[in-house]
Structure 1
Amino acid sequence: MLLTKRRTKGDVAFDILNNLGMLLICFVTLYPIWYVLINSFNDGKDAMLGGIYWWPRVFSLKNYEAVFNNAGIMTAMGLTIAKTIIGVVAHVFFTAMVAFAFSRKGLIGGKFYILMGTITMIFSGGLIPTYLLIRDLHLLDNFWVYIFPVLFSFFDLIIFMTFFREIPDGLEEAGRIDGANDWTIFLKIVLPVSMPVLATIALFHGVYQWNDYFTGIIYVNNESLQPIQTFLYRVVAQSSSNIMTTALQGSAVTKTVTSQSVKLATMVVTTLPIVFAYPFLQRYFVKGMMIGSIKG
């Protein structure tokens, strides 16, 4: 018969304080998001009066109507979606391809390449040399400035390489027996059984691409090539909100919205895609797809 340890008053008090502390942390973390959400659904003119803390006082969808009807904001959103999708696919495939080569035991100079890559994780050339390189590559005011400079990451390579080395050698040997070359093994054997690490790196780089505003500030002057995060940065950086006011000109809802209310609605619109994408990728994080893939 199992003996159950009797809980003391100290244990109960600790649990209560621990739960209260966690609830406080959750509240401090989530309330700013909730505050932005409810104000984005409130009438812009009414929101200027303040006092909105828990629920919209005058519910309105005019802020979102202004966002989706504005060509400039939607162009920036479309560019962000395009660079995120293209960037994730290119980054994951290229980094995985290099990591597959690094994971081979017979790679000549493998230790030297690992050392050189590790150095790049600690030291960088700096902003000015990077800008000069981007300029010489003719990537200024170019869509591909969002893709090529971050096509490869040595940190992600280490994650890929560690995972690839855990793949049983029998899978590759079976492919060799069937006449598969390196490309066939990589594309048809390694990648299909590497979905957990592929999804993880895709999420990491996808969040980076979606939230990146710095690249658009430094390397892009053409406003039609600036992503939504750079657009928001410019709005926040200028207290007069001239950019958002210009974006609202000509809109049919300018009488009921303000630059602040549209800015909050834009923040919500730019955040939701990443929030919704995470649950679909989370199921791939559980490592275990290799179980049963090879019989001993």
Structure 2
Amino acid sequence: MLSLKRRTFKEAAFDQANNLLMLAICFATLYPIWYVLVNSFNDGNDAMRGGIYWWPRMFSLDSYKAVFANDGIMLAMGITVAKTLVGTVVHVFFTAMVAYAFSRRELIGRPIYMVIGTITLFFSGGLIPYYLLIRDLGLLDSFWVYIIPAMFSFFDLIIFLSFFREIPDALEEAAKIDGANDFKIFYQIILPVSMPVVATIALFHGVYQWNDYFTGMIYINKSELQPIQTYLYRVVAQSSSNQMVAATTGSIAKTVSSQSIKLATMVVTTLPIVIAYPFLQKYFVKGFMIGSIKG
């Protein structure tokens, strides 16, 4: 009886220690976001004094007014929305179509293709050869540099493949008896019954497209084609925030600073995906479980 109580006490202590550890990790993760948010809503000049940790000392929306008054950030937001929508649809459709072909046992050379695709998960040609390829394809300073190179992902193909292998062969056999070809089977049977994995891959790639700043930084020189994350990089790492402050007129100019402009821009660029992610997380979990449980 004593040993049972002692074990129970150890388990309770272990649980409490885990709870404290998880709370510390959550705080370390969330507080930097809260700090940025609080300081972005504070008067810019007052925030330069420091000492703002939990609540705005002088609440002000002027930094956000200065951000939204800038035409560049709204254009960058439009580019980001467009490339996220177009890129996600193209990526899901193309990757699903290739994965369906890989799921066919009669595909000639399938083992070789799988080996080649697996190698690409661990090795790449490097940035310089990739840049030269993008240049030779004529995709520099083009909107399609966001879409075409990201049309296919072998990692996403593996997820699709795991799901497609669970689809009963009887569905396809019945469709072939009715005279359907492979394209009709894919469009009218495979895709409709694969909505869980389609939603999962769409969320994976949509988050990637929204957060991608590197493509715009390396392959785009035209400011009108840069996405919002690249714009954020310019604001934080370069002198764009000082230029926005200089361009601000009226009473707003007296209450903003380069630092407050940076913080407000960070909130504007990250808030949409931060709000959407908790509602979409269940699809990520479901996607990871695809193919792991049978029956």
Q: What's the TM-score once normalised by structure 1's chain length?
A: 0.89
Q: Does 1:26 align with 2:26?
A: yes
Check conservation: 2:66, 2:244, Cα contact below 8 A: no
How far, CA to CA, are the matches of 2:279 and 2:180 in structure 1?
32
> Please, what is the CA RMSD of the aligned residues?
1.8
In structure 2, do the counterparts of structure 1 residues 12 and 79 end up closer, same or farther at CA, with 3 Å as the change threshold?
same
Look up the match of 1:244.
Answer: 241
The letter of the residue matching 2:29 is T
Q: CA deviation at 1:143?
A: 0.8
Cα deviation 1:161-190 (Å, max 9, x = unaligned):
111111111221222233222122111211
* Corresponding letter in the other structure for 1:237: A
Aligned to 2:277: 278
- Distance, in Å, in 2 between the alignment partners of 1:13 and 1:155 is 41
Q: How does 1:136-285 map to 2 (within 5 A)?
A: 136-238=136-238, 242-248=239-245, 249-252=247-250, 253-285=252-284
Separation (CA, whole Å) in 1 of partners of 2:175 and 2:115: 31
What SS does structure 2 have at the residue aligned with 1:55?
coil
Other structure's SS at 1:56 match: coil
Paired letter, 1:62: D
Relative distance call for 1:251 and 1:209 in structure 2 (3 A) is farther
Which 10-residue stretch deviates more, 112-121 or 148-157?
A: 112-121
Which residue in the other structure is 2:65 paired with?
65
Give the whole-Å Cα distance in 2 for the aligned partners of 1:69 and 1:207: 26
Which has the larger displacement, 251-260 or 151-160? 251-260
What is the deviation of 1:195? 1.6
Letter in 2 for 1:19: N
1:252-290 CA deviation, whole Å, 9 max, x = no partner?
A: 422211121121111112112212322443444537xx9
* In 2: Cα distance, 1:21 partner to 1:101 partner: 46
- Alignment partner of 1:8: what SS? helix
Give yes or no for contact 1:69–1:251 (8 Å, CA) kept in 2.
no
State the distance in 1 between where 2:262 and 2:140 align: 28
Change (3 A) 1:8 1:123: closer
Does the 8 A contact of 1:87 with 1:151 survive in 2?
A: yes
Higher helix share: 2
Question: Could you tell me how far apart the structure 1 residues matched to 2:255 and 2:211 are?
Answer: 29
Deviations 1:28-75 (A, max 9, x none): 111011111111111111111111101111111222212222101111
Is residue 100–residue 164 contact of structure 1 (8 Å, CA) maintained in 2? yes
Contact 1:195 1:284 in 2 (8 A): no
Task: State the alpha-carbon separation in 1 of the partners of residues 155 and 249 from structure 2.
Answer: 46
Identity within the alignment, %: 71
CA offsets, 1:186-238, max 9 Å, x none? 11211111122112211211121111111111111111111111112122223
SS at structure 2 position matched to 1:107: coil
Partner Cα separation in structure 2 for residue 27 and residue 55 of structure 1? 16
> 8 Å contact 1:72–1:247 — kept in the other structure?
no
Structure 2 alignment gaps of length 5 or more: 291-295
Whether the 8 Å CA contact 1:102–1:161 is kept in 2: the answer is: yes
Q: Is residue 199–residue 281 contact of structure 1 (8 Å, CA) maintained in 2?
A: no
Confirm or deny: 8 A CA contact 1:63 1:265 kept in the other structure: yes
Equivalence for 1:293: none
Residues 45 and 256 in structure 1, CA contact (< 8 A), matched pair in contact too: yes
| TM-score scaled by length of structure 2 | 0.89
- Stretches of structure 1 lacking an aligned partner (at least 5 in a row): 291-296
